[in-house]
Structure formats: structure tokens, C-alpha cells
Structure 1
Amino acid sequence: MNERAKAAAPKAMSPGPRQGKNGDGAERHEAIHRSISDAIIEHRLKPGARLREDALAEVFGVSRTGIRKILQRLALEQLVTLTPRRGASVTRPTADEAKDVFDARQMVECGLMAEIVRRISSGDVATLRDMARRERDALRGGEQSVAIRLSADFHTYLARISGNQTLADFVERLCSRSSLILAVYGNAGNLGCESHDHQDLIGYLEDGKGERAAAFMSRHLKAIEASLSIIEEDAEAPDLFQIFSR
């Protein structure tokens, strides 16, 4: 190619941000996932509400393939239920499912306390105190969904201190299900426990009182479960444009 031809040739475009396989930005997918999960936890999308791929794709301005991947991720987190020929809908926890989830948390989380006491470090204590403080501030500020997420993160972090990755992953999944149960059947401004509960638990762990910590965790989880008001509601077709309007 001569110099004149080179000058006339279009310049190569600089690469843009990393994109997902389907052409939608991976960062954009993350933001959409958070928007939908927040809407579920904040009860703007109610249990049983249908989540049509085409409508969500239009609302968020991305492909249906991208939306499908996001819904599949939410299904793995058990916030969304995927049904053949019906599509996606917000998971509708039942009273029996809620009981099963909290029974499982009782068995696993209380059982981990002794090992957590053995392994917990001063850095872990500082991290847990900060998480408990932020949860309390969010609840006092009326940020219910943030408080629920922080509570789940607190319990998951505790489980990871035990060093048992398998049980910690199980606790994380149980906390995800609990978050939906709390969002749907809990009371606004109250997570079913006292605002200082997590701080008290940290104190027992820091002092090496494993049995006291296990007993306290048991009471803590029972108080949360007892606070739930499970009332079945009819499924509805939500106005997705209104819910996700900026």
C-alpha cells in the first residue's frame, strides 16, 4: 500500500470496554443483576411475579440472551424460579420452605461456632464489628434491602472463618434464601433481631466462649424466624417499566 493509500485508510478503532459473549457489557450485566435482586428483596417485585425475558430486555436495553443468563444466575441464587414453558418468576417461599431454611441454619451455623472461636483473629473481629455497624446504620436509615444483604454477608463471613469451605458455601446459599424470606415476610425496619445481636455474638467469639456463642446464635435465628408473617399473595404481572424506571 502506498503512502497516499495508507493515509486514506480508516484508522483502527481503539478497543472498548470488555464485552460479554453476547455483545452485552459484562459490567452492565452485573448492574442489571443487582437491580433485579434489589427489586425482589425490596418487594417491588413480589413473589410469583412473572419476569418476561422480552420485557426485561426492552426495559434494560440489552439482548434476551443476556437477560436469560442473568435470570439463570438469579435462579441459582434461588431468588427466581425457572419453569418450562412458563419462564421465570420471582420465587415464592412457603411456610414449610422457610422452616426448612432456618432449621438448616440452626444445625450448620450453631455447629460451626466452636471452630470459629478456635480460628477467629483480631482482624476478623474488626471486620465483623464493621459489618455489624453498617447493618445497624442501614436499618436505622430505612435501607431494608441493604441491611438484609449485610446481615447475610455477616453470617457468611462467620462461616468462612471456620475454614470449612463446603459448609461456608452452604451457609451462603441458605443466607441468600433467607434474604428473600425476610424481604417477603419480614417486617419493615426490623430484621427480627435486636440491633445489637451481632455485636453481642462477636463479643462471645472474641472471648473464646464457643458454647455461649452457639446458644446465642440459636436464639438469634429463632427470633428471626419467629418474626416472620407468612401470608400467601396472588401472583401478579408487574409493570417492569415502572419498577425499573430511573
Structure 2
Amino acid sequence: MSELRRAHAARKTRRNEGKAGDGAQRHDAIYRAISDAIIEHRLQPGARLREDALSEVFGVSRTGIRKILQRLALEHLVTLTPRRGASVSRPTAEEARDVFAARQLVECELMAQIASRVTESDIKALRDCANRERQALKAGKQSEAIKLSAAFHNQLAALAGNATLSEFIGRLCSRSSLILAVYGNTGHLGCESHDHDELIRHLENGNADRARAFMQRHLKAIEASLSIAEAPEETPDLYAIFDGSPA
């Protein structure tokens, strides 16, 4: 059997199985697949997300896809427009400024709590994430590096011990990835791995003031690296993006 036929057969099997029993676990897997594709910039801001195409790709009902898109819209990763449907959100310049202002208010103030609570194992985990980000950058895997950069900030926020703030920062980081996709300069990640290494050193030394001051400069540097520019609308090849998806 040819590769094309095998791929078609696999999609047909997923479609028949999925539409017969959409479930929460399956929807979560699809949600993560679409969310990752947005954060990693495989789905560009403004890209249309047709319900029928996504239903075909993932082998679930359009009703299930609609619920997933609504969930993504609540997190500002997807925009739902009457008669036009869903598309990957394209943050405005004002929204970009608001997101980074919010990150300044929240992430910087968490440094004192993190510095007082961080353990050796926490430091090791942070260094591991920063190292994987560095390796991705060296290998030219910018999409993976962007995802790892967001993961670093999420991991850092979790160390403060406040689940609500950690979840909020996670959403801000996801929106920041979209902002970088729209306004970021080619070849500039925004979060450089050496910045993360320096921040880790301040936290390891228990120096909350330096960690806070550094985070302020770090976030301002990311925002300063952005340049306002319009990106053309595109209709992505959903089969190519989600081929082999675990969902």
C-alpha cells in the first residue's frame, strides 16, 4: 500500500472512531495539538481554522471541534468571527503593550517569592529547560525554542506556589508567542537563553532584588525588540501541520 493510501486510511479510521465517541480526553489532546501549533508558529496569526477541515484532520465531529475552538478563544489564541469562522488571533499593537505590561506587573513581583522558595532540584530543572532552549536555537529550531522559552517562564511561575497566578502567566506567555509571531524580527527569539541563565543565577543566590530588576529589563528588552508590521492572511494546510498528530 502506498504512503498516500496508508495516510488516507489512517485518517478515515480516526474519523470513524472519533466521530462515534468524542470524549474529554480526546478533545484535550486535540486542544493541545492546536495550541502547540499556534505557540510554535506552525499556525501563523490570521490563519483560518475551518471546522470541516479540522474535523476531517482529527477525525472528530464538527461539534467537538467547535467546542475546542471556543476554549482556545477564551485564552485569546483563536478569534471567532460571525460568518467568517475561526482564525488564529492576530494581536493588535495595543494588545501587545497590554500583555507585556501585565507580565511586568505579575512576573517581576513573583521573584521574591520564588527566590525564597526555590530548591536545588528547581534550579536544576530550570537550567535543563534553558539548556534545551539553547540547543534548539543552535540547531536553528526557532519554533521549538519559542515553545521552550514559554515553558521556562511557566515553570518559573509555578515555583511561586500560587496556582492561579501560574495559570494566568501561562496564558500571557502563550499570547506573547503570538505577539512575537506578528511583531518579532526574523531570527530574534525575544527571550535569549543567556538571559535565562543569568536570572537562574540570581535566584540560586537568593537575590530577589536582582532577580526582580533583571526580569524587568528582560521583559522590556523583549517588548523593545518588536516592530509593528502587518502580516498577510493565509489559509494553512491543516493536513500537513497535524499529520501524525497523537490526537
CA RMSD, 1 decimal: 2.4
Instruction: For residue 168 of structure 1, report the CA deviation from its aligned partner.
Output: 1.7
| Paired position in structure 2 for 1:58 | 56
Q: Deviation per CA, 1:153-181, whole angstroms, max 9, x where unpaired?
A: 21122122112222222111111111211
Structure 2 Cα separation of the partners of residues 25 and 144 of structure 1: 33
CA contact (8 A) 1:98 1:178 kept: yes
Structure 1 Cα separation of the partners of residues 38 and 22 of structure 2: 23
- Equivalent residue runs for 1:5-16 within 5 Å: none
| Paired position in structure 2 for 1:16 | none
2:185 to 187, 192, 202: 187
Structure 1 Cα separation of the partners of residues 104 and 55 of structure 2: 40
SS in 2 for 1:82: strand
Structure 2 Cα separation of the partners of residues 210 and 56 of structure 1: 46
Structure 2 Cα separation of the partners of residues 117 and 188 of structure 1: 34
CA contact (8 A) 2:202 2:210 kept: yes
Instruction: For residue 212 of structure 1, report the CA deviation from its aligned partner.
Output: 0.6
Aligned partner letter, 2:101: D
Aligned partner letter, 2:34: I
SS in 1 for 2:148: helix
TM-score, length-scaled by structure 1: 0.82
- Kindly tell me: are residues 230 and 43 of structure 1, through their superposed partners in 2, closer, same or farther at Cα, counting changes over 3 Å? farther
Structure 2 Cα separation of the partners of residues 184 and 35 of structure 1: 21
Structure 2 Cα separation of the partners of residues 63 and 213 of structure 1: 48
Structure 1 Cα separation of the partners of residues 159 and 131 of structure 2: 19
| Paired position in structure 2 for 1:240 | 238
CA contact (8 A) 2:137 2:145 kept: yes
Q: Deviation per CA, 1:113-169, whole angstroms, max 9, x where unpaired?
A: 111111111111111111111111112222222211211121122122112222222
Structure 1 Cα separation of the partners of residues 220 and 172 of structure 2: 15
| Paired position in structure 2 for 1:89 | 87
| Paired position in structure 1 for 2:217 | 219
Structure 1 Cα separation of the partners of residues 81 and 216 of structure 2: 35
| Paired position in structure 1 for 2:169 | 171
TM-score, length-scaled by structure 2: 0.82
- Equivalent residue runs for 1:22-33 within 5 Å: 23-24=21-22, 28-33=26-31
SS in 2 for 1:148: helix
Structure 1 Cα separation of the partners of residues 34 and 163 of structure 2: 28
| Paired position in structure 1 for 2:137 | 139
Please state if 1:104 is matched with 2:118.
Answer: no
**How many residues matched?**
228
Q: Deviation per CA, 1:48-86, whole angstroms, max 9, x where unpaired?
A: 222111122123332212222221232233211123333
Structure 2 Cα separation of the partners of residues 119 and 44 of structure 1: 36
| Paired position in structure 2 for 1:149 | 147
Aligned partner letter, 1:137: Q
SS in 1 for 2:193: coil
CA contact (8 A) 1:139 1:147 kept: yes
Structure 2 Cα separation of the partners of residues 154 and 195 of structure 1: 10
| Paired position in structure 2 for 1:4 | none
| Paired position in structure 2 for 1:196 | 194
SS in 2 for 1:81: strand
Instruction: For residue 41 of structure 1, report the CA deviation from its aligned partner.
Output: 3.5
Q: Percent identity?
A: 71
- Kindly tell me: are residues 172 and 35 of structure 1, through their superposed partners in 2, closer, same or farther at Cα, counting changes over 3 Å? closer
Rg comparison, structure with higher value: 1
Aligned partner letter, 1:169: E
Aligned partner letter, 2:144: V
Instruction: For residue 96 of structure 1, report the CA deviation from its aligned partner.
Output: 0.9
